[in-house]
Amino acid sequence: MIGRIVTMRMGLSVISLTTLLLTPWSRLVQAEVAQQSWSSVQIGAGLVSDQPTSGQIRTLRPPEIKAAQQALPGQDLILNHAFRVTLRNFGTCLFVPVASHYGEIGGRKLTLNLIREGKVIYTLPSTEADRKPWTFLEIKAISFTELDFDGFEDIILLAEYHAGPGGPGSSEPFTLATFYFNQSGQAFRVDEALSRQVSARKVTTMEQIEKIIRNELNYLP
């Protein structure tokens, strides 16, 4: 097993990107963000194909941040969960989450975008959380992983919400897992049934999700 740790300082945060080579065909990428208080928060862990169709996942560099801001002007980019990724058929692009504000009392919705050359080339489909009167609070973890053995990288999102449009503290927060399946590199599909099934287990980390979908539901290689 080969391990590599890269540490980068960005403003008041320290981002540590750990890459573990598991097999000749797969790579586990795990990133953790430690805020100024040095309390760490997991932001992602995923398997990415090591073949030429896929590349490493890494945090954005300043020119890429500028390109993301150009593609999504005036929007609230969640840059500590934005990555440069290579997805089969989509190619190398920037994965950039955005928190969109609505209403007058702190409502927020989450959108996930793929950006290339300063333009949004794809926005992932809406989810049940988007259609409910729920407010997005924060992303807990993102995983880029090949779930269903079709050779295309899928995405798992773990995010925190609360019911209603009010700001933080207006209701008890809850965590939802959302599964986006890559449709032959042409689009993504949200598996609402799987998302509800796993979320019902009150998962709070990507490790818990991985254990459920691998050991109980027979996903993941």
Has residue 48 been placed in a domain?
Answer: no
CA quadruple 60, 66, 62, 139: dihedral positive or negative?
negative
Has residue 14 been placed in a domain?
Answer: no
Has residue 9 been placed in a domain?
Answer: no
The Cα–Cα gap between 30 and 49 comes to 14
Report CA-CA distances (Å) from 146 to 149, 162, 218.
Answer: 6, 29, 12
pLDDT tens for the chain, 221 residues long, are 322 222 233 332 233 333 222 222 233 333 333 222 222 223 343 333 223 334 479 999 999 999 999 999 999 999 999 999 999 999 999 999 999 987 766 689 999 999 999 999 999 999 999 888 889 999 999 999 999 889 999 999 999 998 875 544 557 899 999 999 999 999 999 999 999 999 999 999 999 999 999 999 988 76
Has residue 220 been placed in a domain?
Answer: no
End-to-end CA distance of the chain: 18
Which residue range forms the structural domain that includes residue 115? Answer: 53-215
Has residue 176 been placed in a domain?
Answer: yes
pTM: 0.75
Q: Report which of 119, 118, 50 is spatially closest to residue 86, judged by C-alpha positions.
A: 50
Contact 47, 67 (CB under 8 A): no
Contact 201, 211 (CB under 8 A): no
Has residue 16 been placed in a domain?
Answer: no
Q: Count of domains in the chain? A: 1
Task: State the number of CA atoms in the 13 A half-sphere of 211 facing the CB.
Answer: 7
Has residue 44 been placed in a domain?
Answer: no
Has residue 194 been placed in a domain?
Answer: yes
